[in-house]
Structure 1
Amino acid sequence: MMKHGPATHFEPIAVSSESTVVAEYVAEPSSAAGYQSEADLERELIATLESQAYERLHVTSEADLITNLRLQLEALNQITFSDDEWQRFFTEQVSSANAGIVDKTVSIQEDHVKLLRRNDGSTKNVRLIDKEHIHNNTLQVLNQYETGTGEGGGNHATRYDVTVLVNGLPLVHVELKRRGVDIREAFNQINRYQRVSFWAGSGLFEYVQLFVISNGTLTKYYSNTTRRQHVAESSGSRRTRKTSNSFEFTSWWADANNRPIQDLTAFAKTFFARHTLLNILTRYCVLTTDRLLLVMRPYQIVATERILGKIQIATNYKKLGTLDAGGYVWHTTGSGKTLTSFKAAQLATRMPGVEKVLFVVDRKDLDYQTMREYDRFQKGAANSNTSTAVLKRQLEDPSARIIITTIQKLATFIAANKGHEIYTGHVVIIFDECHRSQFGDMHTAITRAFKRYHLFGFTGTPIFAANSGTGGNPQLRTTEQAFGEKLHTYTVVDAITDKNVLPFRIDYVNTVQVGQVVDKQVSAIDTERALLAPERISKIVAYTLEHFDQKTKRSQAYTLGAKRVRGFNAIFATASIEAARRYYNQFHLQQQDLPSDQQLKIGLIYSYAANEALDDSVLDEEGFDTYGLDASARDFLEDAIQDYNDLFGTSFDTSAQRFENYYKDLSMRLKNRDIDLVIVVNMFLTGFDATTLNTLFVDKNLRAHGLIQAYSRTNRILNSVKTYGNIVSFRDLEQQTNDAIALFGNRDARGIVLLKPYADYHAEYSEKVTELLDRFPLHQQLIGEGEEKAFIGLFGAILRLTNILTAFDDFAGDQLLTERQSQDYRSRYLDLHAQYRANAVAEREGINDDVVFEIELVKQVEINVDYILMLVEQYRQQRGDGDDKELRATITRAVDASPSLRSKKDLIEEFVDSVSSHGDLDSEWQAYIHRRREEELQTIIDDERLKPAETREYVRHALVDGTLQTSGTSITRILPPASRFAPDGGHHAARKARVLARLGSFLERFLGLS
């Protein structure tokens, strides 16, 4: 039974305004000695939380959990529910049978004030959480809460480690593993909870907003979206687009100097400090319009709070309109500046006296991207504009609090509206990517026109004296001179160390000796013309086509005869419009002889830039101006866009609006991997983010901030397969690369920012493959759990090394496992994965919690249905001639080595046995799968007495989406009608769990087969 009295409240002596992120954390010397069990870790964590004014809660059933929730909400809202009122409120506003993870996240993030209908007919607002006075909220800690399989329980009995309740709702869950265990297994265990129990009963654990995983030594946190999306993506649906959510998106906590706080006790003292945790939950989470919950990282929170602090201090000390009222944030490219700026802008609009927040960008394409990102965070938050007339209306509209505009539009407005009243308003101006282009006359016009402003700049590559170059306003040569003091720094070294962005791997490809044409007596323009020699361009294109699949990590299934499986995609950066045109023609010419399914889908984009041959450190802004192009360049662009139209069924051209729409469509197809390669001059090299892009081919001079900006298009994290950004340079940029890394990292940054040489990885790979062949020969069985785990760890290491080595040209022909050996070892690896996964689902405690499988990497060499059908075609042609037995064994071996096909093995083998001697194989396959799918679904419908039409529609959506909808009306609609409060309510919940389990197996079995 639950042990509780009246809710305990800790009255703060004073409400603190201290920073959410500790300025500097000095770890205390560890007093722990010897072995520390998971139970010891749990006790230590709970003791730390209790010392920080968390109330210890002891409950053993959902009824107790609900009773405690009632007490906490009564205390928070200073009301007393009657039993009827509570039942009504809990059923309609809290548990709601139709609500799932998304709905409950909305209840915390956006709709935390609920309406209570009282017995006397009146209504009252009831807060689930107090966001204005965060210390009014109650924090409790609960451990070893157990769910069963009866009376509304889940598919399997589960016991949760540690849960933090805010006002009685479980909002943070902590999963622990003993020291030495990979914390990814804690991540995996939370995924299992989502499948089998979080939704059970009243679904209160679907309120969890944040997860914390730890093995004592290492501790990370992440939002419920990361967990939910990862589970949805693991289904393997060919129709499901991968998004950027997996274990790679878990985050370290850190102090304001970016030093990670990884030890569990240190993490608990900082992250779980009352004001810190409540600030994160109430201020530093963002629920996007896509209903994805983003939790900010510590450096983003620090930067946001320093901007807000600067606004407050400058206002109090009457510093408005000076450099002292603002500053700049140096956060490396790819670290999430848009989220930081959005949150800073959003919170700034809530500060007393602030009338407007202007978010200023320097290019139309970045304007589009940033506006789109802002709009994704909060619909309508960004009132983007298309003209200075619209900008004028927005500046005069009190309800338009956040406005996105370009520096050019703002400068035009200023020139046309002398003495406008907005200039005397209290305005926060935030510049995204505050490069040198903003240091000239337009910058001066803005700072002269506005009188009561704060000026803030975000940049991943600041301008220092060392890279200031020439041009612009001579009085504004550096970022600090233009925007004020640096408020926070998070460099590329910090981001790579934290695994928030990827390191780079660079190939310097000398297909032609360029040095012959580089003569210091020859002008840069003449040199560029010489570099356009047809022979050189032809060889570069040949290299790119030959190595494209390797660099972009297309599935090796392609080399086995299957159709191409999409990996990543690439940008090809050229030095001029003329170069872009020549490369576009040459690519089309040289891939004409390739089969159509092996030809790359290639796009081209450029527009007029005033200074095409600018300083190498600057990527000049290409807007959407095609009218400035000469007739030949514009005609060529028209033809290239028509090629694009023919490929995708679109209707774009070079007229102003249609060209802008072409840019938007092309950028989306890059992100969706619908296009393989885009040839550019400067477009897409700054401000463009696509996690699916991993390779940049470079045939242009780059240095300093321009180089880092261009390279950084490739290093966004996505999953365990994408481990680095790939740069293929056809010019010798090694010194420029080293200089840029030193400038924007530090002198020792090269070893962090760039991958090690090929020989280092291959030596380790060779050592491990030798150990594999000697210790685990294929003809010997693995004996005992110790051998199994040793094999899993060793083969996983080989998979990780192979994933890196495959992008090196030297690895071709240097593999040490034959294709057949690789398949057989993958098959053994997957056998163990199935065995250990079954154990993990059935576990009461952490059995096998020290085993982590690299399934995403196995899928890199996935065998797909197209390849199997090709083998079946060969098999039926050779059936009876003596070679068919080996071919049949090849089919079985291929299926066993495939993570997605193993569960479909009996279907494939039955089809092979029944296939006709003649006829269309694909039609026979589709008819066979359709028949078997209908038969098996009908069996489930009959056994569980499901509603036939609703069930078929539910399954149809699941097959399209690649995942089952486990909560909300979708699942309840297919079940026989029953009330959770009826006597058979427990049986109803058990049936729901059983149906989900059976439909989950059905989905896994038939997904991707048609």
Structure 2
Amino acid sequence: MSPFNEDSRVKIPALLHLVRLGYTWLPLKKARWDTRNNIFPDLFEEAVLRINPGTVREDVPALLNELQLTLAGEDLGRGLHQRITARSGVRLIDFDNLANNSWHVVTELPFIHGEDEFRPDITLLVNGLPLVFVEVKKPMNAGGVLAERARMDRRHANPKFRHFFNMVQLMAFSNNMNYDNGQFEPVQGAFYAASTYGEAHFNYFREERADELATVLGPADEAVENAVLVDTNLVAIKGTPEFERNKAADSPTHRLLTSMFSRERFAFLLQYAFAWLTTEAGIEKHVMRYPQLFATLAIAERLAAGVRKGIVWHTQGSGKTALAWYNVRYLGDWFQRRLQVARFYFIVDRLDLLKQACEEFRIRGLHVNVIESRDAFTRDMKKAVAVDNNAGAPEITVVNIQRFDDDPNIATANDYALSVQRVYFLDEVHRSYNPKGSFLANLEQSDRNAIKIGLTGTPLIGDQLKSRTLFGDYIHKYYYNASIADGYTLRLIREEIATRYRMQLQQALAEVEIQQGGIERKALYAHPRFVGAMLDYILDDFTRSRVAFGDDSIGGMVICDSAEQARELHGQFQHRRTSPTPVVRESANDEVYERRRVADKVPAYNKPLTSALILHDENSTQYRSDEIKAYKRGEIDLLFVYNMLLTGFDAPRLKKLYFGRVIKDHNLLQALTRVNRRYRNFRYGYVVDFAGIQKEFDQVNREYYDELTRELGDEAEHYSQLFMDSEEIRSAIDTIREALFDYALDEA
């Protein structure tokens, strides 16, 4: 029987690689741990006394009991994390001197509660605290990494293990294979996830700063290798060619271990990479995505070099608001080490973006100040403290510049607060920041020493205004193809209008033009006859899509040609919904069009559809806000919009986008990516094109591709199309047919 299996091919080489990264191999037969929480008390005590010279041995039992009580909470480890990252009181980890901590690696440490037990392949200990575990599989294993994730998810959901997942902060999974990019549920590769009580979300990791890690790997230690092989009863593989190959530092598993668990990187992750979100559904724990990690490091690097402004170009859906939140914590400490007090501002230009940003920051635990006037901004500029709230919580000030008048005397920083460093995160720096207006000049004048970080998924790159000209060079870039490859966003499928409906639409236009002659284009497309034919198609397509996808929770959005068309569409929709035999009467010839009930479009769905009209001058702000929230909750099926919600609107259930008009330049990509969020098991977002957007998209995409080429050189070849084109679809269908050739397809 071959001695090569999962342990010898992946686990043992990984253990040896971690030893080279600075972890000490610890055989469990020589160790002692507390089975209640898997803390190694001897290692813990030794580290605590070393890190805290004023602490005595008699204090340690009480400290361990305190940790045990902390682990009993239903907080996904937030309390434990606050304790291990605290800089005051008895410190559990020395983040200022990483060599002052103890770093150990063990294998098959049992996590036991009563009759239930699991043994992760590898557990990493920092000062005796089991903060990470790694599960590995051999390449080409049945089910790939998904099989291991399913097994772990069952453990996550077991209440008996809850305290263990409060202790463990981070998990990694690998079957030692390279990523198969773009797979919705990746079965191969090396991934990381935050600890959870439910399903773990796998995150890719693609190293961008390999040069910084070139020296973290120490030499191999043959004595340690012999000890590990003896302890794991695998001496037989010593010196074999396969074992030597498996120890290579550049294997997929080892690359992930180096990127995440080399000491400097791991210390960064422990301190700054986690977010606990308090949502209506309960608490969620998130971990930094790798582009957020590298953007944060790049920002600090630019600041250290004296650069005061720049742009983070991250595609829509990649978490730019979350990036700002991570940076409030990281840069707050970064400036504190430089004896400066950092005050953070998030600048938006629309009320809906202000509300969205405030909500995103609040659920992550930030105290949020809201500024919507020049006077309030002026008062805020006089503050010289990092936080100004009774709880002492980290804070950010969200500023809505839309409410400011054009006044050259907007605000001026307190000249005497020399230790204050203001950091402005400017959201969506592809619009509204006109250099000919007063705001940019005012912002510069408010504090000439302030740092300005622009955030955008679609920077302005035209011949007129350019984001780089206004806000500086790119600090970090993460374009949509990378986001799709990493599974954070979806590709789109553009759907043509069915031929018979296209003919009906053309006939409706022709008849209206004949009847009314010389009618303006806007009025033509808002005419009840044309709108009726358009609505026919939307309702038929949307309800059929729900059946095809087997999911009646998805939502749709109709981007209308004008506010008048949006009102007419919504009006006809409401009329059909409330009338058993709805009619649309046209004043031109009083022609009556009988239409079926919405609910009858597809008999499988007996519940009538619902809709909302979202226009800036329709209904009150509160009404629109309530309707948008209801849509996100799944209580409204279709949104009829014109200009609102085309940017900054994040509703993962939105999976059908109907384009009633061509949208130009960067606004097109903004609008398209409303439908690219991950949702349940959807692999694509769907765009129905009434307006012929393909040509405009091709032009915009080429411009961004050219910009990337200038920035990235040869790397730009990795950035292709947001849409899945017809050739790819045909190829995928042919592959499916080939795979199913031997199976009858006429019966389910």
Query: Please, what TM-score do these two structures have when normalized by structure 2?
Result: 0.77
In 1: Cα distance, 2:477 partner to 2:254 partner? 26
Could you tell me which residue of structure 2 aligns to residue 484 of structure 1? 472
Is 1:127 the counterpart of 2:91? The answer is yes
In 2: Cα distance, 1:410 partner to 1:139 partner? 53
Is 1:722 the counterpart of 2:695? The answer is no
Is 1:40 the counterpart of 2:18? The answer is no
Q: Is the 8 A contact 2:49 2:57 kept in 1?
A: no
Q: Is the 8 A contact 1:423 1:450 kept in 2?
A: no
Is 1:328 the counterpart of 2:311? The answer is yes
Is 1:679 the counterpart of 2:640? The answer is yes
Structure number with higher strand proportion: 2
1:192 paired residue among 146, 154, 158: 154
What is the deviation of 1:82?
A: 4.8
What is the deviation of 1:669?
A: 1.5
What is the deviation of 1:51?
A: 0.9
Q: Is the 8 A contact 1:105 1:207 kept in 2?
A: no
- Secondary structure at 1:211 match in 2: strand
1:665 paired residue among 626, 629, 653: 626
| AA in 2 matched with 1:683 | M
- Secondary structure at 2:370 match in 1: coil
What is the deviation of 1:748?
A: 7.4
| AA in 2 matched with 1:541 | L
In 1: Cα distance, 2:312 partner to 2:114 partner? 49
Q: Is the 8 A contact 1:423 1:449 kept in 2?
A: no
What is the deviation of 1:69?
A: 3.4
1:445 paired residue among 439, 442, 446: 442
In 1: Cα distance, 2:101 partner to 2:405 partner? 47
1:740 paired residue among 695, 700, 713: 700
Q: Is the 8 A contact 1:154 1:197 kept in 2?
A: no
In 2: Cα distance, 1:390 partner to 1:551 partner? 49
In 2: Cα distance, 1:134 partner to 1:82 partner? 22
Could you tell me which residue of structure 1 aligns to residue 664 of structure 2? 703
Could you tell me which residue of structure 2 aligns to residue 279 of structure 1? 268
What is the deviation of 1:112?
A: 4.6
Is 1:454 the counterpart of 2:455? The answer is no
In 1: Cα distance, 2:34 partner to 2:332 partner? 42
Could you tell me which residue of structure 2 aligns to residue 539 of structure 1? 533
- Paired residues for 1:353-392 under 5 Å: 353-380=340-367, 382-392=368-378
Q: 1:327 to 1:34 in 2, by over 3 A?
A: farther
1:90 paired residue among 59, 64, 80: 64
Is 1:503 the counterpart of 2:491? The answer is yes
Could you tell me which residue of structure 2 aligns to residue 171 of structure 1? 131
| AA in 1 matched with 2:258 | K
- Secondary structure at 1:179 match in 2: coil
What is the deviation of 1:488?
A: 1.1
Could you tell me which residue of structure 2 aligns to residue 305 of structure 1? 297
The C-alpha deviation readout for 1:256-300, integer Å capped at 9, x for no partner, is 599xx9811222222221101111111222233444322112211
1:763 paired residue among 706, 718, 734: 734
- Secondary structure at 1:357 match in 2: strand
The C-alpha deviation readout for 1:77-134, integer Å capped at 9, x for no partner, is 3467656x5443323x11228714626332214675599xxxxxxxxx3223334444
- Secondary structure at 1:96 match in 2: helix
What is the deviation of 1:206?
A: 3.3
Mark the runs of 5 or more structure 1 residues left unpaired by the alignment.
Answer: 1-32, 116-124, 231-245, 315-323, 470-476, 519-523, 557-564, 608-625, 627-636, 638-653, 774-815, 822-1010
Could you tell me which residue of structure 1 aligns to residue 284 of structure 2? 292
The C-alpha deviation readout for 1:168-220, integer Å capped at 9, x for no partner, is 111111011111121111211222333459728xx445311111000011444
Q: 1:66 to 1:420 in 2, by over 3 A?
A: closer
Is 1:512 the counterpart of 2:487? The answer is no
Q: Is the 8 A contact 2:133 2:168 kept in 1?
A: yes
Is 1:754 the counterpart of 2:724? The answer is yes
| AA in 2 matched with 1:359 | F
What is the deviation of 1:331?
A: 0.5
In 2: Cα distance, 1:747 partner to 1:212 partner? 30
Q: 1:766 to 1:588 in 2, by over 3 A?
A: farther
- Secondary structure at 1:180 match in 2: coil
Q: Is the 8 A contact 2:296 2:327 kept in 1?
A: yes
Is 1:569 the counterpart of 2:543? The answer is no
The C-alpha deviation readout for 1:981-1008, integer Å capped at 9, x for no partner, is xxxxxxxxxxxxxxxxxxxxxxxxxxxx
In 2: Cα distance, 1:357 partner to 1:251 partner? 30
Q: Is the 8 A contact 1:670 1:676 kept in 2?
A: yes
The C-alpha deviation readout for 1:29-82, integer Å capped at 9, x for no partner, is xxxx99663433111111111111111122256448344433443333346765
What is the deviation of 1:703?
A: 2.9
Q: 1:485 to 1:112 in 2, by over 3 A?
A: closer
Could you tell me which residue of structure 2 aligns to residue 139 of structure 1? 103
In 1: Cα distance, 2:545 partner to 2:373 partner? 42
- Paired residues for 1:96-115 under 5 Å: 96=69, 99-100=72-73, 102=75, 104-109=77-82, 112-113=85-86
Q: 1:262 to 1:575 in 2, by over 3 A?
A: farther
In 2: Cα distance, 1:344 partner to 1:159 partner? 36
Q: 1:454 to 1:340 in 2, by over 3 A?
A: same
Greater RCO, CA 8 A, separation 6+? 1
What is the deviation of 1:761?
A: 3.6
- Secondary structure at 1:384 match in 2: strand
In 2: Cα distance, 1:410 partner to 1:257 partner? 45
Is 1:346 the counterpart of 2:329? The answer is yes
Q: 1:741 to 1:817 in 2, by over 3 A?
A: farther
Q: 1:209 to 1:276 in 2, by over 3 A?
A: same
Q: 1:533 to 1:278 in 2, by over 3 A?
A: same
- Secondary structure at 1:303 match in 2: helix
Which stretch shifts more, 182-191 or 103-112? 103-112
Q: 1:456 to 1:97 in 2, by over 3 A?
A: closer
Q: 1:346 to 1:70 in 2, by over 3 A?
A: closer
- Secondary structure at 1:287 match in 2: strand
In 2: Cα distance, 1:279 partner to 1:676 partner? 43
In 1: Cα distance, 2:519 partner to 2:469 partner? 33
Could you tell me which residue of structure 2 aligns to residue 122 of structure 1? none
In 2: Cα distance, 1:213 partner to 1:293 partner? 18
In 2: Cα distance, 1:666 partner to 1:199 partner? 40
Q: 1:525 to 1:36 in 2, by over 3 A?
A: farther
- Secondary structure at 2:571 match in 1: helix
| AA in 2 matched with 1:599 | P
In 2: Cα distance, 1:63 partner to 1:418 partner? 57
What is the deviation of 1:166?
A: 1.5
- Paired residues for 1:609-648 under 5 Å: 626=617, 637=618
Could you tell me which residue of structure 2 aligns to residue 233 of structure 1? none
What is the deviation of 1:531?
A: 2.5
Q: Is the 8 A contact 1:144 1:160 kept in 2?
A: yes
| AA in 1 matched with 2:475 | L
Q: Is the 8 A contact 2:526 2:565 kept in 1?
A: yes
What is the deviation of 1:434?
A: 0.2
| AA in 1 matched with 2:148 | A
In 2: Cα distance, 1:197 partner to 1:81 partner? 35
- Paired residues for 1:938-957 under 5 Å: none
- Paired residues for 1:501-900 under 5 Å: 501-509=489-497, 511-512=501-502, 526-552=520-546, 556=550, 566-591=552-577, 592-593=579-580, 594=597, 597-607=606-616, 626=617, 637=618, 654=619, 659-719=620-680, 721-745=681-705, 749-750=719-720, 753-754=723-724, 756=726, 758-773=729-744, 816-818=745-747, 821=748
Q: 1:341 to 1:418 in 2, by over 3 A?
A: closer
Could you tell me which residue of structure 2 aligns to residue 21 of structure 1? none
Q: 1:127 to 1:257 in 2, by over 3 A?
A: closer
- Secondary structure at 2:557 match in 1: strand
In 2: Cα distance, 1:168 partner to 1:346 partner? 26
